[in-house]
Amino acid sequence: MTSLYPAATGRLPFRPSVAVKVASGINRLSRLLGRGSGTVIGGRAGLAVDPMLLAVLAKDRNVALVSGTNGKTTTTGMLVAALSEGDSARVATNTTGANMPAGHVAALIGTRPAGTVVLEVDEAYLGRLIEDTHPQVVVLLNLTRDQLDRISEVRMLVDRWRSVLGRLDPVGHGGSRTVVVANADDPMVVWAASTAPEVRWVGAGQVWHGDAVGCPACGGRIVFEASGSWHCDQCGFGRPDRFAWLEGDVLVLADGRRLPVVIGLPGQFNRANAAMVAVAAPELVGTHGQPPVSIATAVERLSKLHEVAGRFSRVQRKGRDIRLLLAKNPAGWSAIFDLLDESGDATSPVVLSINARVADGFDTSWLWDVPFERLTGRSVVATGERCRDLAVRLRYAEVDHRVVSDVLEAVDLAIGPAGRLSVATTSTPVEFLGNYTAFAQLRSRL
């Protein structure tokens, strides 16, 4: 978040000014009582006083929204890094990952009344955020199943996105247009974004096809080709012409330019996120008279980013590196397994931690769609509040594993002593994979 700007409150109309004061007061009280940062409860209080508070706080700002099932937090952090030239205080953003309207309000309170804003947006709230903030850029990453008890089926969400994107003004609010930067390799995203007046299609790849086997246009079958292209076998729906695409670790632009994507974050999926950011960053008008960031500059700045909100970071415990990885649904877990394979060390012990709280979604049936069979031969520990559900899935995947209910004890089991759990040496990291609250639990205890 940017530094406090006290004068901003004085320029607000009466009702939003009161709402800001209420939200700020509750935020401070929450911190004083040790009940958290107050980013959600304060924002809720502000919206209760003035339901239009988010629209007021976003007025006259250059706004970018990032949404999708997987990669929102990381891509948002990447976009902030690409726009801020190492000084994240220049960009207002919801760094805590609170990606619903209450969190967005909290992110904007106390920040400069004009400037750049980059917000991670929960998929279900994208329509409201577009209507309230009139963004210059909307980045759409992917759409797969996730928290069915809250978000419902993917097709329902696709239809909602398609409707709101179709209502974008070709000119835009106040004379500025909204550019959609969308993943051309995800048929669900393409169907949703194809109604938008202006789209930059990026070939960012898609590791999970399980939610896009049926054509959303006619009900036919989507055929995925080895080249990454796709099309419906019954109608003309298919991958659109791309503005840019990835070839390994090179970003290729339709005009012929080729830019190496050498970034500090691991994995092909993060290079895909970087490609989306590189195309999105130049579409955001520069602030304080500065020109927009070029594609090449955006890519160069990302090379210095090594973690986002603790994800992909390494911590030490008992002399052993623990790499912290977050995954929350079948598509995310598949991408993380790709990362483990890319790391090239099959001797690294793996700790899997699953919870099922509100932030995770209560339904754990998605575990049966995760290809845990890819962990065969590794030393695996299952932990978390739903470790028994996870253990059943691992047993059917024929993955040898141990079950330890306490997450820290599970990590210690994976650490050693050498030979107790695996033949790995102390030079290999322990790979920790957890969903939202399981990931946060371990970070708070390490």
pLDDT tens figures, 269-292: 999 999 999 999 999 876 555 678
pLDDT at 88: 57
The reply to whether the predicted model has a pTM over 0.85 is yes
CA distance 56 to 133: 9
pLDDT band per the 50, 70, 90 thresholds, residue 26: confident
What are the start-end ranges of the H helices in 252-384?
268-280, 295-302, 330-343
DSSP 308: B
86 φ/ψ sector (left φ>0, alpha ψ -120 to 50, else beta): left
Rounded to whole angstroms, how far apart are CA atoms 411 and 365? 25
What distance in Å separates the CA atoms of residue 262 and residue 275, rounded to the nearest whole number?
Answer: 11
Instruction: Give, in degrees to the nearest 5, the angle at Cα 353 between 152 and 34.
Output: 85
Q: Are 86 and 304 in contact (CB under 8 A)?
A: yes
CA dist 165 → 129, 144, 276, 293, 393 (Å)? 12, 18, 18, 25, 39
Tokens of 186: 């995800």
- Residue 114: pLDDT band (50, 70, 90) is low
The pLDDT value recorded for residue 300 is 93
Looking at residue 5, its pLDDT comes to 35
CB neighbour class for 420 (10 Å; exposed up to 12, middle 13-18, buried from 19): exposed
Nearest alpha carbon to residue 130 among 154, 163, 155: 163
In this predicted structure, the answer to whether residue 152 has a pLDDT above a threshold of 50 is: yes
Residue 222 confidence (pLDDT) above 60: yes
d(Cα 175, Cα 134) in Å, to the nearest integer?
11
- Pick from 168, 115, 166, 161: which is nearest to 142 by CA? 161
Confidence label for 179 from pLDDT (cuts 50, 70 and 90): very high
Contacts of 361 (CB under 8 A, 6+ apart): 146, 147, 148, 149, 150, 328
At 425 the pLDDT is 52
**Of 260, 294, 301, 300, which Cα lies nearest the Cα of 280?**
294
Phi, psi of 392 (to 5 degrees): -60, -45
Predicted local distance difference test score (pLDDT) of residue 158: 93
**pLDDT at position 14, please?**
87
Asked if omega into 417 is within 30° of 0 (cis), the reply is yes
Q: Looking at 25-29, 42-46, 76-80, 87-91, which range is the least confident one?
A: 87-91
